[in-house]
Amino acid sequence: MPFSVFTRAFAVAAASIAALSLVAVAAQANAVLQGGTAKLAEGESVVFMITGGESGPADLNAQCEIGDVGGMASITFDGENYVPLSDPSVGTVLTLSRGETRSYNLSGVVDASRGADAYIAFRFTGAPAPMCFPGMDCSGAEGKAASVTVTCRNGAG
């Protein structure tokens, strides 16, 4: 089949579309988590600010770990202008037991284009109430943790 003007035009159009797709992927910005480590007492929170997403959606990849738990602990995960694409979701209450460590690879989208701050946060809300019915011996129920440690950092993009 001979090479025609239409075949050449199609090849040029296909190459142009492929090049534009690569440019669009390369131009998509990544959000940056301002990581760190915090030891929280009951009622305290740690907030990790996120930069990026001011011009539109940006991808966030981060790693967070909760540990140093000396008893039962409930920690609430929060976020603003962050849409999680992995666990935990905003509003999730994480329950940990003595000696337990939990690690999370956070993946999500940050959109701070409306001028508001973007962040993720952890709040140590105390300990879950033990399941104890009237007449039961609840002396073996685990006590609540005095503190927990939360560490977050940027993950591999």
Query: d(Cα 116, Cα 118) in Å, to the nearest integer?
Result: 7
Q: What is the 3-state secondary structure (H, E, C) of the chain?
A: CCCCHHHHHHHHHHHHHHHHHHHHHHHCCECEECCEEEEEECCCEEEEEEECCCCCCEEEEEEEEEECCCCEEEEEEEEECEEECCCCCCCCEEEECCCCCEEEEEEEEECCCCCCCEEEEEEEEECCCCCCCCCCCCCCCCCECCEEEEEEEECCC
Token pair, residue 103, equals 């690690």
Amino acid at 105: N
Q: Which domains does the chain have, with CATH numbers?
A: 29-130+144-154 (2.60.120)
What is the rounded end-to-end Cα distance, in angstroms, of the chain? 46
Tens digit of pLDDT for each residue in 105-148?
A: 999 999 999 888 999 999 999 887 666 667 766 665 567 889 99
pTM score: 0.76
**For position 128, what pLDDT does the model report?**
75
Residue with the larger pLDDT of the pair 100 and 21: 100
Question: What's the pLDDT tens digit per position in 97-110?
Answer: 999 999 999 999 99
**Average pLDDT score over residue span 58-63:** 97
Q: Is the pLDDT of residue 28 over 80?
A: no
